[in-house]
Amino acid sequence: MGTSNEINKQDFCLWLGHLKLSRIIIVLSTILFLVPLITHYYLSNVENNSIHITHSAHSHTDLPEDLNYLNDLDLKVRVEELYRIKGSVSSELRDMESKRQKLQQELQAYTKNIEQLKFELSHQQTELNRLKISVEQAQVAQKEALEQNTPDLALPKRLTANQLPAIFPMLPRNLARNCRMFSCFDHSRCSLTSGFPVYLYDPDQYTVMHSNWDVDGFLKTTLKQTLGYNPHLTNDPKEACIYLVLVGEALKDTDDISEAFGNSNLPPLDSRALKRLPYWGGDGRNHVLLNLARRDLSAASGNIFTNVDTGRAILVQSTFTHSSFRSEFDLIVSPVLGPPGGDVWQECAPMLPARRKYLLSFQGEIKSNSKYGPTNLYGLDDSDLANTESYFELDRFIVEHLKEMGKSSTADKFYFEFECIPANDDNINTGFQDWALCGTDSSRKFILRDSTFVLIFAPATAEYVSTTLLQARIYEALRSGAIPVILGGDQIRLAYDEVIQWKRICIFLPRVRITELHFLLRALPDSDILLMRRQGRLMWEKYLASVQSTLDTIVAVLRDRLNIPPLPVENVPAVSVFNETFQPTQVIVNVDGEQDESLGPLEPPYNSPAYRRNYSLLITQGHEVWNDWGDPFHLYPTLPTDPLLPSDAKFLGSGRGFRPIGQGQGGAGKEFSEALGGNNPREQFTVLLLTYEREQVLLDSIARLRGLPYLNSVVVVWNSPKPPSPELRWPDIGAPLHIVKAARNSLNNRFLPLDNLKTEAVLSVDDDAHLRHDEILFGFRVWREHRDRIVGFPGRYHAWDLNTANSWLYNSNYSCELSMVLTGAAFIHRHYFHLYWKWLPQAIRDKVDEYMNCEDIAMNFLVSHITRQPPVKVTSRWTFRCPGCPQSLSEDDTHFQERHKCINFFTQVFGYTPLLNTQYRADSILFKTRIPHDKQKCFKFI
């Protein structure tokens, strides 16, 4: 208060002094103006009288009395004297006029200074209020730091084993059949902070097959290549947590399975070769035996571990019997049917329309007697064979019922094929299975793409919990978008079912409910059909589609069992455009146009807390991570779906970091500007600018950010190959400024996951965007309520093209409905930057580079696809674009044509259009509301 009174007294004295000076100047000006006029009038009369004396005849009485005594010479001298006096007075008048003008200019300058001082006083008062808020916030933060009783978590320090596995005696086979993770796995080699290192035995160097068997060459080559991209792979066996061993599936010297397997009594897998592995440790603990079958040629290749002592090793394959499968220890996987890696969206069928040509399809042939006989194949006794025959009888009844269903008068169409043509090379043919798969791969794909549902039979023998054929048919169905209906689904298990929720993808139906099948399928509405189809495609792309996804999933599931978090996601290094010897010049720039109101505290940079959920995420939200929005292969600093505390928790023991408005009592504009409030702790945001050869426009945009509350830093992605001029004077805005060099000119660089993005909230802004401080802060506060969505200012929508069938148009007309928010002025969670580069298909980023356009549409597709929610548009004051800026790419004639094409291409890649329409817009609280005079609105102008 003392400081404020002193300021007021000084201001009053200054004003009083200026008032006295003004009066003196006015009096002097009046005198200086009147004296020249009187003098000029007098001299004029004198001059006229002298002229009359020279040229006119007047009586002596008309002359002054003293002139009667003057001769001509004296009179001339007097006249010259008067002229001299006149010149002197005129010169003095000019000097006085110059002084008068100078005093007037000084008076105007003083008046302007007074106005500036008044403005500065108001500005300093606002800054003082901000600083008071900042001090209060700093005091609260200091108090929290002193009272905290939990440490700040960071990335874990790796703690790995430092010696080879010890030698243990071989486990008896009867005990090995009951292996579980707690009894047969050595957890001491896999600490929580180990990072789960994985060692691969080179399949070319360590073969574990008998001489007449060999590992599929495709698998050997592909496995080593794709596993090399897995971050868990290590070349040091001493630190390894698990050891991967690739075992085979195909014959090397003969196609006669009876000769290779039956007559020689030699299984494909050599037990002695397993024990000779250098890190086997006597009993095979922590070893994982991979049988990634691509073809189910025989019982030996389907269940390659039959009659083989595998000790404590974990078995990974597609075919298991109930007696051989050790739940939560062994792992059922899908056969490797896809490419090594890369984009797989070309293999998928469109997800629309919901109901396809055929309601239900089936292609298969019952085979009750296989070439090698069920007894030799399965080792079944008489009771098992009787049970198998009963299954075959039920299957025959099912076939007859399906034939009758196909002949019914219903409007639904069915496609059933119960007699197979001879199998071709690309078939997944099963000589030992009860059902043979009909048709070629291409013909089956054609039928599946026309099928809403596809019927899949579980093995007729109840002894089997999974077979390669069953998993392959699931794979094919999901690839084509046909929803699997598994008859006998109550007796089987699908791949990775300990983490994947298959009931959201498939319909599991007991065989005896075949008569209710048609009723059940008709009961599903289009929304549920598309929900299951979308979920199936999501799981297929993430876990089944390629060799890369299969290996990554196997490693992730085993790691998940041990509650070991994934390795941290990699950021892109932010390389400065300036070298170490050159530091850019920064100057303080005053920017006019911002309203004089306190919008928030001025704080030092405060980074968003990261990696707080390293070990709790998969425990509390494991199913969501695996089946919904999550990525089980990487560990992220934060997620937009992190859980919220209840409102009262911030006042009852969990209030660290929270800044409730009015300390919890609420309030209008004044209290609102002093604290963030909301349901999340305090945080800041980063401004991310993408620029290309518009240096002055960029500098002006940066300068406007000076004094912006809650600003953590400004990151500029320099997209131009030419570095910035050394003479540029960069604005000092009171927050860190980073100028990052882009590897190449690409609009995809707008979403680079740079390592200097330290906040969850990122404001993506074009370099020519002109947003006021209140608009930015309003958008930031709205984003905090919708952290998983894009929140911004310019809205757009995708419109159906009425002139072209099955086509979309990009539309920027004013509309009461929107589906996109342009990322030229929008808040986005940092997590989506990682997904844009790691999860989004490469074809989309390539299309962005091809058109030099559409990166904002791609981000809207991505976020809507993950969240199934539209973006949020916030109110602005129509100051989005700066006037007079150079032409941007959006003004090109081809801009809109390219964006039409982008929407349709992205729809093809995703299989559907994930964009959702919304009629919702966020306006500030108390907007256009009449409130008492002693209260202040949240934002005065928006």
Residues acting as catalytic residues:
856
| Whole-Å CA distances, 732 to 320, 579, 584, 587, 688 | 67, 19, 11, 5, 16
Sign of CA dihedral 47, 51, 56, 58: positive
The stretches of 562-668 forming alpha helices (DSSP H) are: 617-620, 622-627
Q: Coil, strand or helix: which one is 624?
A: helix
H/E stretch holding 141 reads helix 72-147
The stretches of 148-257 forming alpha helices (DSSP H) are: 173-176, 181-184, 217-227, 257
State how far the Cα of 95 lies from the Cα of 574, in Å rounded to an integer: 65
Checking 379-387 for CB contacts under 8 A at 24+ apart, the result is 380/461, 380/463, 384/461, 384/463, 387/461, 387/462
For residue 691, the number of C-alpha atoms closer than 13 Å in the C-beta half-sphere is 31
State how far the Cα of 747 lies from the Cα of 845, in Å rounded to an integer: 9
Beta strand spans in 205-254 (E): 213-214, 242-246, 250-251
167 backbone dihedrals φ, ψ, rounded to 5°:
-90, 125
Residues 6+ away with beta carbon under 8 Å from 650? 658, 660, 664
State how far the Cα of 871 lies from the Cα of 544, in Å rounded to an integer: 31
Contact 165, 190 (CB under 8 A): no
Instruction: Name the strands in the sheet holding 808-811, side by side, starting at the edge strand that comes first in the sequence.
Output: 808-811, 795-800, 820-821
Contact 914, 808 (CB under 8 A): no
- Nearest residue to 499 via CA among 334, 623, 333, 326: 623
State how far the Cα of 756 lies from the Cα of 758, in Å rounded to an integer: 6
Q: Count CB atoms within 10 A of the CB of residue 767.
A: 23
For 253, counting Cβ atoms within 10 Å of its Cβ (0-12 exposed, 13-18 middle, 19+ buried), the class is exposed
